[in-house]
């Protein structure tokens, strides 16, 4: 799976390499197992927007930690939700709020963008639902990996593509998500 992702992203990576130096993920934002004393059930996703980390709870004492980019102030999802659906190479459509705030940037995409390596949702997306309804917030990949560890998105939780592929394989539809 990682080989397919690398092949799909190769043309963009080659282009990016010409214009700037190679992006390197900071060690703290790489997926790793960490101590996490928790009362959350195994399989729960806990997101700490201030710390810029997503934790997948393994047991009462351990979690798999990933670095994330989060929503700018005022655009952050908070509380509990469930993974309502998952998509590989998802289609992206900006929300009406995004178009209203920045029409010069988003209006041209009002009809949506097909999934693929240039799509802002990246390689995978986990769609967050609350009370059976889509919240319009996502945990998804990104075409801008250098934004991990920052408050940069329109509210979603973004991850490096290889990392969201890993998370996607570990998390079922129905998994609980808690954003602190």
Ramachandran area for residue 37 (φ above 0: left; ψ -120 to 50: alpha; else beta):
beta
Q: Which among 118, 136, 140, 163 is annotated as catalytic? A: 140
User: Do residues 50 and 71 make contact, with C-beta atoms less than 8 angstroms apart?
Assistant: no
How far, rounded to the nearest angstrom, does the alpha carbon of residue 146 sit from its chain's CA centroid?
A: 13
118 is catalytic: no
**What stretch of H or E contains 152?**
strand 151-153
Q: What does R_g of the chain's alpha carbons equal in angstroms?
A: 16
Which residue among the candidates 118, 136, 156, 163 is catalytic per the annotation? 156
Residue 136 falls in the annotated catalytic set? no
Q: Burial-class residue 40 by CB neighbours within 10 Å (0-12, 13-18, 19+).
A: middle
Asked whether 47 and 64 are in contact (CB, 8 A), the reply is: no
The token duo for 106 is: 């988003």
Catalytic residue IDs = 140, 156
């Amino acid at each position: 799976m990682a080989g397919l992702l690398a092949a799909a992203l190769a043309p963009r990576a080659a282009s990016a390499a010409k214009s700037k130096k190679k992006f390197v993920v900071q060690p703290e934002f790489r997926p790793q197992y960490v101590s996490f004393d928790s009362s959350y059930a195994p399989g729960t996703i806990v997101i700490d927007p201030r710390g810029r980390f997503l934790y997948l709870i393994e047991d009462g004492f351990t979690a798999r930690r990933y670095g994330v980019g989060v929503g700018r102030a005022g655009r952050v999802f908070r509380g509990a939700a469930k993974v309502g659906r998952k998509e590989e190479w998802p289609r992206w459509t900006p929300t009406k709020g995004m178009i209203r705030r920045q029409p010069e940037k988003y209006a041209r995409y009002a009809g949506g963008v097909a999934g693929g390596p240039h799509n802002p949702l990246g390689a995978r997306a986990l769609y967050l639902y609350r009370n059976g309804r889509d919240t319009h917030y996502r945990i998804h990949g990104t075409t801008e990996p250098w934004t991990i560890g920052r408050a940069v998105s329109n509210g979603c939780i973004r991850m490096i593509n290889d990392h969201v592929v890993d998370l996607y394989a570990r998390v079922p539809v129905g998994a609980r998500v808690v954003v602190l």
